[in-house]
Amino acid sequence: MRAAVGTGSGDDVDVDGAVRLRSFAFLEGKRTLYPDALPRRVLQDGFEFEGRRVPLVGPQGIFRPALCRLPLTITTAPPAEGKKAPYDDQLSSDGLLHYRYRGTHPEHRENEGLREAMRRTVPLIYLHGVTEGWYVAVWPVFVVGDDPHTLTFAVSVGERPEDLSGPASLADLELETDEARRYATRATLFRLHQQSFRMRVLRAYRERCAICRLRHLELLQAAHILPDGHPRGLPVVPNGLALCALHHAAFDRNVLGVRPDLRVEVRLDVLEEEDGPMLEHGLQGFHGVVVMVPRAERSRPNREFLAERYEMFRRA
């Protein structure tokens, strides 16, 4: 269904719609500076629209700036290691994001605002907290369901146009079919969880490779100790290592392993091979090195995970 954005009088509709389109263009313009995630201060500062400031985030998860008649953004707080999130928004078996109500009263005005956005198919922005002070923006998203029994809204991802530099219509942002919406939502939320894992791991390791101490953020990745698909291979910091691209590839392919005592072990055939300076200094030279770990005890590698992964390395 196409977006029908009648939200009041003609002037109100024009302003609300124009602010939304400007918000989308603002976020698109920030992607070059912040390709992975946006700092909260950028979202709080927002942009100016006809002489008035429009922030994109507020103190609560459902946020409506003064110039809009309906909510503009919904936010999931970043996870804190070892703590349960106050609002457990998650991908459901129906392929949609289930976003928690504000509070426990379905009639709360912010819940009513999202309900009205659902009735009018108004596009919003979803801000997914990946780590403290950093958010990934997903837009447009649409509220497509409301369940007062579980105190959740169902949210789907819409279609983002390739170019927002010129005039656009909000009606062009909705995906045509339920199947397309569910596919887009699953793919988007999987990407968000991977980005969240990467940023939390890199932050815990002070943005350097645990093996070689490389500090170039664009070359750093978050490696799973127990891989995706393993029953305990969850995207949590104790199951992660911050590694440069070379050492991540070597770790995943069992060219090198990390023992439970945190020492690097290079596979014997690779250790004895003669190839050139890259092999010598990039891999062989780190045999026996102790990996760097986070300062916080709760963020350090789980020794049981390391032991199990090391046995996988030995068998390989």
- Does 88 score more than 60 pLDDT? no
According to the per-residue pLDDT averaged within each range, which of 77-86, 164-173, 185-194, 199-208 is highest?
A: 199-208
What local confidence, expressed as pLDDT, does residue 81 receive?
A: 58
274-291 confidence digits (pLDDT tens):
888 999 999 999 999 999
241-256 confidence digits (pLDDT tens):
999 999 999 999 999 9
What local confidence, expressed as pLDDT, does residue 90 receive?
A: 67
Tokens matching residue 116: 């009205």
Mean pLDDT value of segment 170-186: 74
- Does 301 score more than 80 pLDDT? yes
45-79 confidence digits (pLDDT tens):
999 999 999 999 999 899 999 999 999 999 998 87
- Does 127 score more than 50 pLDDT? yes
Is the dihedral angle over the CA atoms 255, 258, 259, 261 positive or is it negative? positive
Mean pLDDT value of segment 254-263: 97
Mean pLDDT value of segment 204-208: 96
What local confidence, expressed as pLDDT, does residue 2 receive?
A: 38
Q: Quote the CA–CA distance of 40 and 38 in Å, as a whole number.
A: 6
- Read out DSSP for 62-115? EE--TT-SS--EEEEPPP-TTS--SS--EE-TTSSEEEEPSSS-TT-HHHHHHH
Judged by average pLDDT, the poorest of 60-69, 82-91, 152-161, 208-217 is 82-91
CA distances to 3, 232, 237 from 310, in Å: 53, 15, 18
- Does 163 score more than 90 pLDDT? no
Mean pLDDT value of segment 223-228: 94
Secondary structure class of 287 (helix, strand, coil): coil
- Does 12 score more than 80 pLDDT? no
- Is the bond preceding residue 140 a cis peptide, omega within 30 degrees? yes
108, 120, 122: which is closest to 151 by C-alpha? 108
- Does 204 score more than 70 pLDDT? yes
- Does 84 score more than 70 pLDDT? no
Mean pLDDT value of segment 303-311: 97
What local confidence, expressed as pLDDT, does residue 161 receive?
A: 63
Considering the chain, what is the average pLDDT of its residues? 87
- Does 266 score more than 90 pLDDT? yes
Q: Quote the CA–CA distance of 111 and 99 in Å, as a whole number.
A: 11
- Does 85 score more than 60 pLDDT? no
What local confidence, expressed as pLDDT, does residue 178 receive?
A: 76
More confident call, 177 vs 261:
261
More confident call, 224 vs 175:
224
Secondary structure class of 145 (helix, strand, coil): strand
What local confidence, expressed as pLDDT, does residue 5 receive?
A: 43
Outline where the chain has alpha helix (H).
Answer: 10-29, 40-45, 109-119, 178-204, 245-252, 268-272, 277-282, 303-315
- Does 158 score more than 90 pLDDT? no
* Domain ranges within the chain, ordered by starting residue: 10-201, 206-315
Mean pLDDT value of segment 243-271: 97
Report yes or no on whether pTM surpasses 0.85.
no
Query: CB burial class (10 A; 0-12, 13-18, 19+) of residue 55?
Result: middle
Q: Would you say 13 and 6 are in contact if contact means Cβ atoms under 8 Å apart?
A: yes
What local confidence, expressed as pLDDT, does residue 294 receive?
A: 96
Q: Quote the CA–CA distance of 78 and 135 in Å, as a whole number.
A: 8
